[in-house]
Amino acid sequence: MSRLIDVENLTLQFDTDEGRITAVDDVSFSLEAGEVMGLVGESGSGKSVTAKSLMKLNPRNAIYGENTKITLHLEDGPVDVMSLQNDREMKIVRGGSISLIFQEPMASFAPAISIGDQMVEQLLIHTNFSKAQAKEVSIEMLDRVGISDPSTRFGQYAFELSGGMRQRAMIAMALSTKPKLLIADEPTTALDVTIQAQVIDLMKDLVSEFGMGIIFITHDLGVIAQTADKVAVMYLGRLVEQGTVRDVIRRPAHPYTRGLIAALPTLDDIDAPLTPIPGDIPSPLERPPGCVYNTRCQEVVGSRCSTQVPAFYQVQPDHAAACHIYDPEGGTE
């Protein structure tokens, strides 16, 4: 496998009226071609913002950290995403080599423009196709994602399609330019469970077929377990654990990940009480010093948790957690 994207020290702040909010704090990860990475966390943990950073798609008041470096490795050589300036340069990460699927398929289609027109528009921006060719490719893609009667659907509007159909159309549109990286921001959250499974299967098929990388953003560990090769867990803008999906779910290392997994309802024992993580996610305006999770952590190992930001410690090969527990120099005194 070849390296697809490297994200190093991604830090992102928003300038707001209430002050500067840190949304993403020193996040680093990388992805190989053909690999599916799950990005997990509660709402407000910075997963979507992280994903949008890869396309420089955050609002105008976003300020990227100085050391932030995002490198996209393409066939023609590496692209330094942070250095992309104007719209022309940015095309490559916006719909060209990276595509983004949003949580709400209804809201992400323009209501008064037909689905086909939006697909053709994207193809005309990123390829040298003629209009007729773009239409042909779009209908073919609609057919590929399992939409019946694709040439009729092509002329229809988002409001005329069912939820699952819309998300399929969204996937067809996202993949029509043959991107190297697909970012799926909670693509199945707004769908019925039965449709969810269909859409996830479809995405998995298409990944292996197109050989691209996927960053799958979700708060649903069940979905991650089904789809991803590896997982990154985020809390309050920081990455707290990274590893292969099997390791992280079987043997979660960070107390937060453990809490997340314990909080999952189980169908095996419907009388079992739910064990939520106590407390609320702190406001990003009042980020706790030290480890960001220390205010809710049940495994605090001393004062350093609230004073010192933990480094990533390797707990197994390909599995690391940012927690003082794993400090080989006496974290658990």
Partner 1 sequence: MVQFLRFATIRAALAFFTLCLVSFIVFSLMELVPGDCAERYLAFKNSQGAQISIADIEAERVRLGLDRPYLERWTSWIFNAFQGEFGDSCILRLNINQLLGQKVWLSIGICLGSLFLAYLIAVPVGIIAATSRNPYLNNGLRIVSYLGLALPNFLLALMIMLFSTVFFGDSLTGLFSPEYRDAPWDWPKIKDFLGHVWLPVFILGWSATAFAIQTVRALMSDEISKLYVTAAAARGVSGRRLLMRYPARHALSPIINSLGFDLNRIFNELPIVALILTLTEAGSLLIEALARSNDQQLAGAIIFFLTGSIIAINFITDIALAIVDPRIRRSILG
Summarize as ranges the residues that interact with partner 1 (CB under 8 A): 55, 57, 60, 87-88, 90-91, 94-96, 99-100, 102, 104, 107-114, 118, 121-122, 125-126, 157, 159-160, 173
- Secondary element (H or E) of residue 52: helix 47-53
Q: How far is the CB of 122 from partner 1 (least distance, A)?
A: 4
Report the first-to-last Cα separation within the chain, whole angstroms. Answer: 41
CB of 157 or CB of 313, closer to partner 1:
157
Strand partners, 98: 181
Q: How far is the CB of 261 from partner 1 (least distance, A)?
A: 31
Locate 190 and state its tokens. 């707004």
Q: Helix 115-126 to helix 163-176 angle, to the nearest 10 degrees?
A: 20
CB of 138 or CB of 295, closer to partner 1:
138
Provide φ and ψ at 250, rounded to 5°: -75, -45
CB 165 within 8 A of CB 146: no
Q: How far is the CB of 275 from partner 1 (least distance, A)?
A: 34
> For the stretch 89-108, what's the b/e string if a residue is b when 16 or more beta carbons lie within 10 angstroms of its beta carbon?
ebebbbbbbbbbbbbbbeeb
Q: How far is the CB of 102 from partner 1 (least distance, A)?
A: 6
CB of 32 or CB of 104, closer to partner 1:
104
Q: How far is the CB of 88 from partner 1 (least distance, A)?
A: 8
CB of 89 or CB of 220, closer to partner 1:
89
CB of 160 or CB of 201, closer to partner 1:
160
